[in-house]
Amino acid sequence: VFDSGIGGLTVVKRLMQCLPSEDIVYLGDTGRVPYGSRSKDTIIRYAKQDAAFLSGFDIKAVVVACNTVCSVAYEELLGFMDIPFFEVVGAPAKTAAETTKNGRIGVIGTAATIRSNAYLQAINAIRPDLEVFSKACPLFVPLVENGITDANDIAALSIAERYLKELSDYKVDTLIMGCTHYPLLKSVIAKVMGQDVMLIDSGAETAKAVAKSLSESALLSDKKAKGAVKYFVTDSIDGFSALASGYLESELSGLVEQVTIE
């Protein structure tokens, strides 16, 4: 599983719930986060380096736990390794299309994800009649990477209000958190959008899709013991370990290693 930073842990957390016996190798490219404000060429280069690092392990699948990479570099990654790749756009798009009652779906993501129109295309491929309203929220990732995620935090709330107001005005009833970092801000986003708006988490939806696919391909581990998870980052381990331990509610400090992947 890889992401630009801590966001992919929202997928890992769900994978651990759905597939408790699987071993997971996680790479957070914390030295180069955020990806979402970078050019397509740079995102492709980073994504290939991330996948190449993971290919050094005995893995049976790669989960690209980054909407930005999936939106702009996924095609380039396919064929890069001869094992299944899973992306994080399709599953939440499908859930949102099935969930909306008023036909108005909001999508929030990084600048690159929103610019790509990947969600608009994925939703309209399922139901062309649905209206999709998109908004880039570039300050959300730095908030999360700095642990500013509390629903009572004035800075987080005011940034969220600024980004989300127009989606409220468009009266969306379903909002896709189209960046794996955003579920960490869920309480802030929910407070601003109100309880009538259904928030869709790309991590949760993707983990279910991965579990189903691995099971159908007879690729699931048959061991009974709990799977091991190892974490790699490309910047110092301290900040990541503290945030990740809090989010995963488990002490990770001995399990995180700093690596160079360039």
Query: Which residues are annotated as catalytic?
Result: 66, 179
| Number of chain positions touching ligand DGL (CB under 6 A) | 17
Q: According to the binding rule CB under 6 A, does residue 181 interact with ligand DGL?
A: yes
Three-state secondary structure of the chain: CEECCCCCHHHHHHHHHHCCCCCEEEEECCCCCCCCCCCHHHHHHHHHHHHHHHCCCCCCCEEECCHHHHHHCHHHHECCECCCEECCCHHHHHHHHHHCCCCEEEEEECHHHHHHCHHHHHHHHHCCCCEEEEEECCCHHHHHHCCCCCCCCHHHHHHHHHHHHHHHHCCCCEEEECCCCHHHHHHHHHHHHCCCCEEEEHHHHHHHHHHHHHHHCCCCCCCCCCCCEEEEECCCHHHHHHHHHHHHCCCCHHHEEECCCC
Binding region for ligand DGL (CB under 6 A) out of 32-40, 46-54, 77-85, 246-254: 32-40
Q: Which of residues 77-116 bind ligand DGL (CB under 6 A)?
A: 110, 113
Considering the complex, state which of residue 68 and residue 95 has its C-beta at the smaller distance from ligand DGL.
Answer: 68
Q: Please state the closest distance from residue 113 (CB atom) to ligand DGL, in A.
A: 6
Q: According to the binding rule CB under 6 A, does residue 183 interact with ligand DGL?
A: no
Considering the complex, state which of residue 36 and residue 106 has its C-beta at the smaller distance from ligand DGL.
Answer: 36
Contact 168, 190 (CB under 8 A): no
Shortest-Cβ-distance residue relative to ligand DGL: 36
Q: Binding string to ligand DGL for residues 140 to 159, with x set by CB under 6 A, is what?
A: -x------------------
Q: Which of 14, 15, 36, 134 binds ligand DGL (CB under 6 A)?
A: 36
Q: According to the binding rule CB under 6 A, does residue 3 interact with ligand DGL?
A: yes
Binding region for ligand DGL (CB under 6 A) out of 27-35, 89-97, 153-161, 221-229: 27-35
Instruction: State which amino acid sits at residue 191.
Output: K
Contact 54, 27 (CB under 8 A): yes
Q: According to the binding rule CB under 6 A, does residue 7 interact with ligand DGL?
A: yes
Considering the complex, state which of residue 66 and residue 176 has its C-beta at the smaller distance from ligand DGL.
Answer: 66
Q: Please state the closest distance from residue 181 (CB atom) to ligand DGL, in A.
A: 4
Contact 133, 166 (CB under 8 A): yes
Q: Which of 100, 149, 174, 180 binds ligand DGL (CB under 6 A)?
A: 180
Which positions lie near ligand DGL, rule CB under 6 A? 3-5, 7, 33-36, 66-68, 110, 113, 141, 179-181
